[in-house]
Chains A and B, each alone.
Chain A
């Protein structure tokens, strides 16, 4: 049944005597309809859906033709998955999850003899972590495409990923640290990668009451030196700090090259019910560290050797194996002995981001409980230091007067300013966690010029090169903390969510929602051609220096050494050499040293044994990996290739006979016995 507004109105009105009110009623109806249309369309915009023309436009912008490449690589942290994921932009397509701090049984990461040392720490083997922030290595303040660093927040660690292989090349445990959160931000030439403690902990005396927090607990910021050639990392020095919670950081650029800026909260020094007790002060601090000065003090011998055990794990690509080194001491600088090295700048309130604009002059504090965004001026800060405009000190560290270092405040930016990135046109973009939006503002004039809703509760944001000297102000990725109804539901646990905005124009335009792994905290992106041209296709078999590698199938063999049986296996499409093995006994520990002898791009082989309690392995062309197996029942076990390699992949299989512990079976092995 159709509903006629006019007829209905007439019927209603005909009951009334006066016809003079008809025009008013009609006008009222028209107004009501107009209003509801406006409201509805308003709702449409509010949930991020767009009208048809807009959608087509957005679709065009994120569409990458089949077989064509994305413009940018983006590296989004995997949060509590402990890994890092690689996506293309603008498509949002996932290319690879790089195992870093967490085991990955699919690839054998953390299960093979070669990769197990990578996850060793002073606490033993740790199979997971919480990876928050990624940072590309830089030259002259611009990503150079060599490495990407990522932090382990839980058991404090720092990892370096080689972007030639997209594999974790090094993991360094950070001593005297807990919650390695304000990491792994780097200086302009990646001279240093920093690690700041989110949790302060007791360092001199270890077993102390929790309520001795103020007296016995300390934080540290570590400066990890990076070898410009090999990329190898070492904790060059640490700086002992008051027991605040160091949250995020960024290095200076250009004029502020020598400085590093760390945000900190809990300057209340609370150790219980932090949500209240650490939210009392109007202002916390941004800690400015002159790392050149620190270097100088280090050279002058001001640092003390502090005993602390920590692991340094390096993966040797030529040996296809990792090794761990246990380090016993670290150099510690105490600000008390090092004047002019550290200053505190008051910053409202419980700041998260400490972000430096491309020019290096402006430092933006993201005070998540603040009602303004404070923007500090580096040159004013220097002047304030010079003219000693201090507001007392904290544990001997001078506190610069807020106004003396302030360039200005962005007024009414939104609620919960968290983190700021920059474009190449003089604008900053700040995420607003509470009001769930991104706010665009002019760095010089501090005027808000645009805002765009995010779905929902954005944490960090990322513009390719947006924390470097040369941002590519084309796209903005927001990483949300809450997903709710954005994708098809998958029960109580939903995918994590990121969104892509076009920021090339005056107004930000939402282009795409895309799911991510773990919880995406921070990300980096750079032009694809910076990385893709260096991507390794195979490992050269001739250059394989793994002690258990076999270069030809003639070297394939099985050897018994007491209770250990070492099986040297070669893999070529589509068979294992050997593929029949006998003489293994219950109680033996079998080591499969498996070499993929292919030298062809994208021909990995998998290796899996029935009932193996360890994992499978994926072995790249020219690579050797080792997995162990301790069979418990005497029978014949099949093994096979798990990575579909050829038309005869399904035939790529073999058998291993396991005999009772007391049997007298000798080791035998073969391939292709002729009848």
Chain B
């Protein structure tokens, strides 16, 4: 691995520490009655924002209460991310191309698993509705988009990565690009390396 690759992998891995101090994902709800905004921020280990208000509104449609204490992912995610950062840092220090491959695969698995998990979580909240709720719109579910914006009754729901999320995504993309770079454009170096 080139020196630049090593540095970038170490730096981007360490940059992911940001995700311990800033929210990873945000869901914003937009409606005329909420000029001040309404939203929640998903952090690595907690959920903040207008949870009470959102839970209050959700009870009309029979949605379960969002209770951060009962969401297992929030207790697991810090370890997964810490592991990922450690692997990234070690990869950078070791400078082994194979290790970089492992890191990229790990990262991709974490990313895809995270996405699927989040989708399922959203699906569950959006579909598992109390049939005796005050407002029942036949055929209507209230699953926010995985990423993007969607109209849900009187609200437009926006779901996007937040600061920490952007850093992690950036680090992931960078890792993939660096791996491709190392495979395609740094064969010579690889030969040298393997010759040693």
Contacts and interface: CB of A to CB of B under 8 A. Distances in A.
Interface string B29-66: 00000001000000000000010110010011000000
Leading 6 A-B pairs by shortest Cβ distance: A600-B53, A599-B52, A648-B134, A573-B56, A601-B36, A572-B56
Interface string A36-77: 000000000000000000000000000000000000000000
A599 B53 contact: yes
Contacts of B59: 573
17 contacts: A537-B36, A572-B56, A573-B59, A574-B134, A598-B53, A598-B56, A599-B52, A600-B50, A600-B52, A600-B53, A600-B56, A601-B36, A646-B60, A647-B60, A647-B134, A648-B60, A651-B134
Interface in B116-157: 134-135
Nearest to A599: B52
Interface of B: 36, 50, 52-53, 56, 59-60, 134-135
Contacts of B52: 598-600
Nearest to B53: A600
A238 B50 CA distance: 51
A563 to B, nearest CB: 37
Interface string A591-610: 00000001111000000000
Interface in A82-106: none
A651 B53 CA distance: 19
Contacts of A598: 52-53, 56
Interface in A183-208: none
A189 to B, nearest CB: 34
A537 B50 CA distance: 14
Interface string A573-592: 11000000000000000000
Nearest to B154: A647
Nearest to A674: B132
Contacts of A599: 52-53
A574 B59 CA distance: 10
A646 B50 CA distance: 17
Contacts of A600: 50, 52-53, 56
A573 B59 CA distance: 9
A574 B56 CA distance: 9
Contacts of A573: 56, 59-60
Nearest to A672: B132
A283 to B, nearest CB: 58
Interface residues of A, number: 12
B48 to A, nearest CB: 13
Nearest to A648: B134
A30 to B, nearest CB: 62
**Best-buried of A573, A600, A648, A651 by chain B (most CB within 10 Å):** A600
Nearest to A600: B53
A384 to B, nearest CB: 59
Interface in A623-675: 646-648, 651
Given A600-B53, A600-B56, A647-B60, 11 more contacts: A537-B36, A574-B134, A598-B53, A598-B56, A599-B52, A600-B50, A600-B52, A601-B36, A646-B60, A648-B60, A648-B134
A70 B108 CA distance: 54
A645 to B, nearest CB: 10
Contacts of A648: 60, 134
Contacts of B53: 598-600
A184 B48 CA distance: 45
A34 B53 CA distance: 70
Contacts of B36: 537, 601
A286 B5 CA distance: 85
A572 to B, nearest CB: 6
A427 to B, nearest CB: 41
Contacts of B56: 572-573, 598, 600
A596 to B, nearest CB: 12
A648 B59 CA distance: 12
A279 B50 CA distance: 65
A646 to B, nearest CB: 8
A649 to B, nearest CB: 12
A648 B53 CA distance: 16
A598 B59 CA distance: 13
Contacts of B60: 573, 646-648
A647 B56 CA distance: 13
Contacts of B134: 574, 647-648, 651
A574 B53 CA distance: 13
A646 B33 CA distance: 11
A246 B135 CA distance: 64
A671 to B, nearest CB: 13
Interface in A556-574: 572-574
A296 B53 CA distance: 56
Contacts of A651: 134
A554 to B, nearest CB: 14
A574 B50 CA distance: 18
Contacts of A574: 134
Contacts of A572: 56
A525 B103 CA distance: 65
Contacts of B50: 600
B171 to A, nearest CB: 36
B36 to A, nearest CB: 6
Nearest to A573: B56
Nearest to A647: B60
A116 B165 CA distance: 53
A599 B135 CA distance: 22
Contacts of B135: 647
A646 B60 CA distance: 10
B21 to A, nearest CB: 24
B41 to A, nearest CB: 16
A356 to B, nearest CB: 42
Contacts of A647: 60, 134-135
A537 B52 CA distance: 15
A451 to B, nearest CB: 45
A598 B52 CA distance: 8
A32 to B, nearest CB: 62
A289 B53 CA distance: 55
B93 to A, nearest CB: 46
A648 B135 CA distance: 10
A572 B52 CA distance: 11
A465 B53 CA distance: 40
Nearest to A601: B36
**Best-buried of B36, B53, B135 by chain A (most CB within 10 Å):** B53
A500 B77 CA distance: 62
Nearest to B134: A648
A648 B36 CA distance: 23
A641 to B, nearest CB: 14
A572 B36 CA distance: 20
A651 B36 CA distance: 27
A186 to B, nearest CB: 34
Contacts of A646: 60
B64 to A, nearest CB: 16
A471 B94 CA distance: 71
A598 B50 CA distance: 11
Contacts of A601: 36
Contacts of A537: 36
A574 B135 CA distance: 12
B40 to A, nearest CB: 13
A88 B56 CA distance: 33
